[in-house]
């Protein structure tokens, strides 16, 4: 008997670099030669995986049991090298994910080919001049960077990896934090994580490695949960001229995504749109940790020589269960292969990394445990007069529900559309529909018959009020980053086309149509004039209305994805939403699309 072992068991079940290279069989066992980590402490675990897989797949209850007999080191396929890499830089934050990346690479590369890079990008001395951000500091203050640096050093010491500390405080301030504050002052909802990836992690850091080490560093490995296909290394000459990706060189998740993609326009755009092929970004296998949303602003060429070793792994068994069980209209089905996946947390614990049980960081790193409004109020110059009081206006009847001082209550001034409006003494829950903190740009709910002279926040009763939902929004073409086409021109697919999108991290996908339209900003016109393109603004019309569409939120476009393998086509910040359902005097559909990853199943209209 011969067992057919393909990526179903090995390449997808365990690590991205696993490959079955030979199989033989006897009457009792099957011997498998596997490409994976040498000297792996998980050989017994892998044997158990094989046994479980074979037992589950043999409906007749056969006695043959596959065993792993040979361990072969993986290759570093994503690095643009002809032989072995010169050196791999590992972005080490002190967290579990980047530490496991370092551990995995030590099992396939000698330590002299590896080095850790630890970044500190926030100047705490700006907040407190008595604090020094020098890494040799022994301050007792429990700033997050101190513990992160200690954890990074401990992991690097255990793995025998040299560690370098770098600071991009000026770049972070100018490219990420100042734009963040400026947009907040304009009632825009920015996403600093998207800008940090674009300008710091895959901008300033890559530039630093190239200049500082004079080309001796060939790869940058990070702990992001995403996947990359470097098309520049998976091509062959074409009879029509140029280069052409071969179907055999495609990663299996690309084949699956293209098979599921209904749009031939997108498939052709992905495969044949450019001679200068750049890396293609995919979602992570762990749907609960996928970070492709935050990577959507990075130019695709910046992913050349980048490794995401965690892209095929699950962070925890809980995340594996979520990826198996959670489903939505565009992301359905289950992945039975995930039963035997080794999680990142398990890897850290088995390797006895000193930070194996460290909690994941959440929120914006430079804010820490402080309240967002209180922190931002120290940096943001609001357009309001210090003596101005802001009125909270009920969109249903234009009555003033409450007033507040934006200096004393900054959380309301900086809250985004869809967030709860915490009004003192209120007997019901209110939610923010829109804000007018400076001369009006937005529409008025009484169709212009009454103009509010004072600053105001428009609010509505109930979390699923029609005023919180819209089914069209707009993005300036100059702000959109098209990733899948390759080349230098940031060229979109032929318009209009259908795809899937999300406007929040991990939000279930919604079907949409993307086109370019003429649009009158002064009156908020929303006519979907297909074919009348002005090469300035994209209109994204949704199959289902979404809740809380806010200017500045990032919309990311995907192809494929019914089984969780998503191709990231591109992304960009929303310029403005179209009219909401309250303005259009339309009823909401009975089943509402989830607003985020925790909204399973979909809400029903009328729920509180």
Residue 342 confidence (pLDDT) above 50 = yes
Q: Which of 6-15, 35-44, 202-211, 415-424 has the highest mean pLDDT?
A: 202-211
Could you give the CA distance from residue 143 to residue 155 in angstroms, rounded to a whole number?
Answer: 19
Q: Which of 14-28, 329-343, 348-362, 440-454 has the highest mean pLDDT?
A: 348-362
Which residues are bridge partners to 558 per DSSP?
500, 568
Residue 408 confidence (pLDDT) above 50 = yes
Q: Which residue in this structure is represented by tokens 């109930």? A: 462
Could you give the CA distance from residue 62 to residue 32 in angstroms, rounded to a whole number?
Answer: 18
What angle (nearest 5°) sits at the alpha carbon of residue 287, between those of residues 281 and 293? 45
Residue 453 confidence (pLDDT) above 50 = yes
Q: Which of 131-135, 211-215, 338-342 has the highest mean pLDDT?
A: 211-215
Residue 380 confidence (pLDDT) above 70 = yes
What angle (nearest 5°) sits at the alpha carbon of residue 288, between those of residues 331 and 100? 135
pLDDT computed for residue 245 by the predictor: 52
Burial class of residue 505 in the structure, from the number of CB atoms within 10 Å of its CB (0-12 exposed, 13-18 middle, 19+ buried): middle
Q: Where are the domains of the chain?
A: 32-54+85-126+145-226+283-316+341-367, 372-441+451-461, 468-596
pLDDT in tens, 204-247: 999 999 999 987 898 999 999 999 988 775 554 443 444 455 54
Taking the mean position of all CA atoms in its chain, how far away is CA 272? 25
- Top pLDDT among 334 and 489 is at 489
Instruction: Pull the structure tokens for residue 320.
Output: 């594996």
pLDDT computed for residue 238 by the predictor: 42
Residues 246-266, mean pLDDT to the nearest whole number: 73
Residue 422's pLDDT band (cuts 50, 70, 90):
confident
CATH number for 468-596 (one of 3.60.15.10, 2.40.30.10, 3.30.930.10, 3.40.50.620): it is 2.40.30.10
Q: Is it true that 32-54+85-126+145-226+283-316+341-367 and 468-596 share their CATH fold?
A: no
In the chain, % of residues over pLDDT 90: 43
**Lowest-pLDDT range of 17-26, 369-378, 527-536, 565-574:** 17-26
Instruction: Pull the structure tokens for residue 38.
Output: 């040498």
pLDDT computed for residue 133 by the predictor: 44
On whether the CB atoms of residues 351 and 103 are closer than 8 A, the answer is: yes
Sign, CA dihedral 344-346-349-350, equals negative
Tally of CB atoms within 10 A around 336: 12
- pTM score > 0.85 for this model? no
Residue 136 confidence (pLDDT) above 60 = no
On whether the CB atoms of residues 268 and 243 are closer than 8 A, the answer is: no
pLDDT computed for residue 12 by the predictor: 31
pLDDT computed for residue 599 by the predictor: 44
Mean pLDDT value across the chain: 74
Residue 333's pLDDT band (cuts 50, 70, 90):
very low
pLDDT computed for residue 81 by the predictor: 41
Instruction: Pull the structure tokens for residue 466.
Output: 């029609």
End-to-end CA distance of the chain: 59
Residue 325 confidence (pLDDT) above 60 = no
pLDDT in tens, 71-97: 333 334 445 444 455 799 999 999 999
Length of the chain: 608
Strand pairing class (235-237; 306-307):
unpaired
pLDDT in tens, 17-27: 333 333 333 33
Instruction: Pull the structure tokens for residue 126.
Output: 């700006």
Q: Which of 21-25, 157-161, 489-493 has the highest mean pLDDT?
A: 157-161
pLDDT computed for residue 572 by the predictor: 97
Residue 6 confidence (pLDDT) above 50 = no
In the chain, % of residues over pLDDT 70: 62
pLDDT computed for residue 439 by the predictor: 54
Residue 143 confidence (pLDDT) above 90 = no
pLDDT computed for residue 307 by the predictor: 95
Residues 340-365, mean pLDDT to the nearest whole number: 85
pLDDT computed for residue 338 by the predictor: 45
Residue 480's pLDDT band (cuts 50, 70, 90):
very high
What are the backbone dihedrals phi and psi of residue 384, each rounded to the nearest 5 degrees, phi first?
-90, 150
pLDDT computed for residue 363 by the predictor: 63
pLDDT computed for residue 360 by the predictor: 85
**Lowest-pLDDT range of 197-211, 375-389, 592-606:** 592-606
Residue 368's pLDDT band (cuts 50, 70, 90):
low
Q: Does the domain made of 32-54+85-126+145-226+283-316+341-367 have the CATH classification 3.40.50.620?
A: yes
pLDDT computed for residue 262 by the predictor: 72
Residue 544 confidence (pLDDT) above 50 = yes
| SS3 letters across 157-224 | HHHCCCEEEEECHHHHHHHHHHHHHHHHHCCCCCCHHHHHHHHHHHHHHHHHHHHHCCCCCCEEECCC
Residue 168's pLDDT band (cuts 50, 70, 90):
very high
Dmax over Cα atoms in the chain, in whole Å? 86
Residue 319 confidence (pLDDT) above 60 = no
Residue 324 confidence (pLDDT) above 70 = no
Burial class of residue 489 in the structure, from the number of CB atoms within 10 Å of its CB (0-12 exposed, 13-18 middle, 19+ buried): exposed
Could you give the CA distance from residue 84 to residue 81 in angstroms, rounded to a whole number?
Answer: 7
pLDDT computed for residue 273 by the predictor: 61
């Amino acid at each position: 008997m011969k067992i057919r072992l393909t990526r179903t068991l090995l390449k997808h079940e365990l690590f991205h670099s696993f490959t079955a290279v030979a199989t033989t069989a006897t009457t009792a066992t099957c011997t498998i030669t596997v490409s994976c980590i040498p000297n792996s402490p998980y050989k017994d675990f892998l044997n158990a995986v094989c046994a479980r897989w074979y037992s589950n797949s043999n409906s007749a209850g056969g006695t043959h049991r596959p065993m792993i007999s040979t361990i072969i080191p993986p290759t570093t396929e994503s690095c643009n090298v002809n032989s072995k890499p010169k050196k791999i830089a590992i972005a080490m934050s002190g967290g579990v994910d980047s530490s496991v990346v370092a551990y995995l690479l030590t099992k396939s590369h000698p330590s002299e080919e590896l080095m850790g890079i630890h970044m500190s990008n926030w100047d705490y001395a700006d907040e407190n001049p008595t604090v020094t951000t020098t890494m040799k500091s022994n301050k007792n203050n429990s700033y997050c960077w101190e513990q992160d640096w200690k954890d990074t050093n401990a992991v690097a010491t255990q793995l025998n990896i040299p560690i370098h500390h770098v600071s991009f405080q000026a770049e972070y301030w100018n490219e990420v934090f100042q734009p963040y504050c400026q947009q907040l002052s304009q009632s825009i909802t920015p996403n600093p994580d998207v800008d940090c990836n674009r300008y710091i992690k895959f901008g300033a850091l890559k530039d630093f490695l190239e200049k500082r080490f004079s080309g001796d560093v060939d790869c940058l490995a990070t702990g992001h949960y995403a996947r990359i296909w470097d098309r520049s290394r998976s091509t062959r000459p074409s009879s029509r001229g140029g280069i052409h990706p071969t179907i055999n060189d495609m990663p299996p998740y690309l084949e699956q995504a293209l098979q599921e993609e209904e749009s031939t326009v997108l498939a052709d755009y992905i495969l044949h749109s450019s001679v200068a092929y750049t890396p293609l970004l995919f979602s992570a296998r762990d749907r609960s940790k996928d970070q492709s949303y935050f990577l959507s602003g990075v130019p695709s060429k910046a992913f050349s020589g980048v490794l995401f070793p965690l892209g095929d792994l699950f962070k925890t068994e809980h995340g594996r269960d979520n990826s198996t069980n959670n489903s939505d209209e565009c992301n359905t089905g289950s992945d039975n292969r995930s039963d035997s996946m080794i999680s990142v947390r398990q890897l850290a614990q088995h390797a006895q990394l000193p930070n194996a049980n460290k909690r994941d960081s959440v929120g914006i790193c430079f804010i820490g445990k402080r309240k967002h409004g209180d922190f931002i109020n120290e940096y943001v110059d609001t357009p309001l007069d210090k003596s101005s009081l802001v009125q909270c206006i009920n969109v249903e009847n234009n009555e003033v529900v409450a007033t507040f001082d934006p200096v004393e209550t900054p959380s309301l001034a900086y809250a985004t559309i869809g967030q709860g409006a915490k009004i003192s003494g209120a007997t019901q829950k209110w939610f923010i529909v829109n804000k007018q903190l400076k001369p009006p740009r937005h529409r008025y709910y009484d169709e212009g018959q009454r103009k509010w002279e004072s600053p105001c926040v428009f609010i509505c009763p109930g979390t699923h009020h029609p005023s919180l939902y819209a089914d069209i929004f707009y993005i300036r073409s100059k702000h959109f980053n098209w990733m899948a086409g390759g080349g230098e021109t940031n060229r979109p697919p032929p318009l209009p086309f259908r795809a899937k999108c999300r406007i929040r991290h991990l939000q279930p996908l919604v079907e949409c149509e993307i086109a370019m339209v003429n649009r009158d900003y002064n009156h908020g016109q929303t006519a979907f004039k297909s074919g009348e393109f002005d090469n300035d603004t994209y209109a994204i019309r949704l199959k289902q209305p979404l809740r809380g569409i806010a200017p500045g939120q990032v919309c990311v476009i995907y192809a494929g994805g019914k089984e969780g393998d998503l191709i990231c086509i591109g992304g960009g910040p929303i310029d403005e939403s179209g009219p909401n359902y309250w303005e259009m005097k339309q009823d909401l559909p009975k089943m509402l699309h989830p607003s985020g990853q925790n909204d399973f199943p979909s809400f029903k209209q009328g729920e509180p």
